[in-house]
Amino acid sequence: MDENLSKDVHDFKMNKLKKTQFIPLNDDEFKDYIARNINVNEKLTRPQKNIIVDTLYLQVAMVTTIGVIAVLPESISKWSKDDASSGSIGAKWKQNVSDGPVMDEDDFLINYLGHPISGAIYYSMARNDGLDPLESFLFSTFMSTFIWEYGYEAFAEVPSIQDLWSTPVIGSLMGEWMYWLEKDLDKQNGLVFNSRYLGNVSYFLLNPMGRIADGLGGFLNLDITMRFQTYQPFNSQNKENYNRNINTPTQFAKFDYGVIINLEF
């Protein structure tokens, strides 16, 4: 092939590629940015994908739980409706987090049965998604501590010392027991006293959030794509590196970066 023609073909391909990968962010300075993407989904194992998807569905149940507790009498919820209705909820959350954790005054059954059941639900969902016992315990700790105690519930009350340890610790022990009960149920072909109905009820009770997530997944058909996207200023030096090998990463410190999560129904 003629050398000039070969060069023209190469330039054409590079210009076309640049049009799809360069996003102008500052037209006043005529500066383009090289967009590089890492599709997180392609880097995750199946259990990791499963737990991420189910965690998003779990938020539906947790927000619903917040709504139910909010309408319960204060004698049960221990949430002050006057505090919730006064001032900014953001300021209330910040104050509660700053004041905690404290020993709460909830009933014994709430602290040492109700909260551990929540921890067991987180744990059993993780185990059924393919995580091992340690990973499932860490997941239960993350959900109960950061998402619930210091997240949703902190908008209404100060984080509780009892809940911080009883939910993941006792809950994980209960969750592992529930997981093996479910495996025993599998060996019985899903039958309890030869009843398929009782078997289905037992499956739900042993992994309620997993079953709810499966139902929501079938109804919503939610497809989740996650990726890291970085932008690096495109200058003459970058152009030289870019033309030499488009897949060669440059210094990460010079990148602007973020995480993008696409939810497609």
- For the chain, the domains span 3-42+223-264, 45-212
Tokens of 106: 């909830």
pLDDT of residue 129: 93
Which pLDDT score, from 0 to 100, does residue 128 have? Answer: 94
Percent of the chain surpassing pLDDT 70: 62
Q: Could you tell me if 167 and 147 are in contact, meaning their C-beta atoms sit under 8 angstroms apart?
A: no
**Of the candidates 186, 190, 77, 178, which has an alpha carbon nearest to the alpha carbon of residue 125?**
178
* Mean pLDDT (whole number) for 183-192: 94
Please report which confidence band the pLDDT of residue 15 belongs to, taking 50, 70 and 90 as the band edges. Answer: low
- In DSSP terms, 225 is beta-bridged to 262
Contact 125, 58 (CB under 8 A): yes
Backbone angles phi and psi of 37, in degrees to 5: -120, 140
Across the chain, the runs of DSSP E, i.e. the strands, are: 22-26, 31-39, 223-234, 256-264
- Does 9 score more than 70 pLDDT? no
Given this model, what pLDDT does residue 50 score?
Answer: 86
Query: Which pLDDT value is given to residue 264?
Result: 58
Question: Collapsing DSSP states into helix, strand and coil, what is residue 220?
Answer: helix
Question: Can you give the pLDDT at residue 79?
Answer: 67
> Is the separation of the CB atoms in 124 and 51 below 8 Å?
no
Rounded percentage of the chain residues whose pLDDT exceeds 90: 36
R_g of the chain computed on alpha carbons? 26
Pairing of strands 223-234, 31-39: antiparallel
Look at 200 and 218; give whichever has higher pLDDT.
Answer: 200
pLDDT given at position 12: 62
- Model confidence over 103-118: pLDDT tens digits? 988 888 888 999 999 9
